Amino acid sequence: MNSQSKSFLIWLIAFFLTFTLAVFQRITGPTYEIHGKIAIGKDLIKYKLIRTYDGADGALISIKIPDTAIKGKITYQRFKSNDPWTVEPMQRTGNQLSGRLSHQPPTGKVAYQVTLAKDNQQYILNPEPAVLRYKSPIPKYVLLPHIVFIFLAMLFSVRTGFEAIFRSNKTYVYTWWTVITLFIGGLVFGPIVQKLSFGAYWTGWPFGHDLTDNKSIVAFIFWIIALWALHKNRENKFWPILASVILFIVFLIPHSLLGSEIDYSKQPQTEQTK
């Protein structure tokens, strides 16, 4: 295999791994929808329960159910609060059964269950309550660069690791690209997205325990060390490979895990309002 073909193959593998990690991040995070299906009589009902909402009103929970004999209700309370559970009947509009949760400020969370009923028999869609977190909307011109640069950083990180293992002649250059894209995506646009969504630029250490913030700074530190090691010695393989592995592990941690939230347990009980 010639040098050009080998380089193309390495880029292809790096892209595949990055794409796989992107999908993994999407489907494992605590804000990813709960998908499922349930048989009620002769009908197979598919549902999607949302776990994040950026509207100015209460989050809308809606399920397509053509059978008008099927009713529904939503049971909810503020997450980790002392509030009593609120039960609201779902309203029918055509083929849709819908209900709204109580509105909360950004970082506020609501736990909820959806129950369907027909012929005096009840069907709980999610025995373990779903937890929905409210946030403020993020403009696409801010969110898109954040996503693009973060995954470019992952792409260059994987490519740098392979370069250090197999070739080494461009490891220093690719390390620079990794550091630049990781800095822009994670430490520039990341805090901006956090501020627009939840009102704070940084909720990781030492101000909080947000894993998204913490893992970004940890990965960046390792890549800075790798860059410095390569600056001193272009033949260094240990640090770029280690930094690449660290960032790969970081991407295996679900996005928004241990994200900021309002501690309702320290607040008095309130009547849930829509």
The residues, any chain, with a CB within 8 Å of residue 231's CB and separated by 6 or more, are 172
pLDDT band at 250 (very low <50, low <70, confident <90, very high): confident
- Tokens at 16, concatenated: 């595949």
26-35, 49-58, 132-141, 196-205: range with lowest mean pLDDT: 196-205
| Cα–Cα separations (whole angstroms), residue 212 to 209, 215, 242, 249, 250 | 9, 5, 20, 13, 9
Fold of 34-134: Immunoglobulin-like (2.60.40)
Q: Mean pLDDT throughout 89-111?
A: 94
User: What are the phi and psi torsion angles at 16 (to 5°)?
Assistant: -60, -45
- pLDDT at residue 273, rounded to an integer: 42
Q: Mean pLDDT throughout 178-196?
A: 92
List pLDDT tens digits, range 162-184. Answer: 999 987 789 999 999 999 999 99
Confidence check: pLDDT of 224 > 90? yes
Q: Is 180 helix (H, G, I), strand (E, B) or coil?
A: helix
DSSP, res 265: G
Q: Mean pLDDT throughout 130-150?
A: 94
**Of 60, 143, 55, residue with least CA distance to 105:** 55
18-32, 55-69, 121-135: range with lowest mean pLDDT: 18-32
4-18, 34-48, 259-273: range with lowest mean pLDDT: 259-273
Rounded to an integer, what distance in angstroms lies between the CA atom of residue 35 and that of residue 20?
A: 20
The residue ranges of every structural domain in the chain are 3-29+138-252, 34-134
List pLDDT tens digits, range 47-68. Answer: 999 999 998 899 999 999 999 9
pTM: 0.83
Confidence check: pLDDT of 272 > 60? no
Query: Do the beta carbons of residue 198 and residue 144 sit within 8 Å?
Result: no
- Tokens at 256, concatenated: 């928004």
Confidence check: pLDDT of 90 > 90? yes
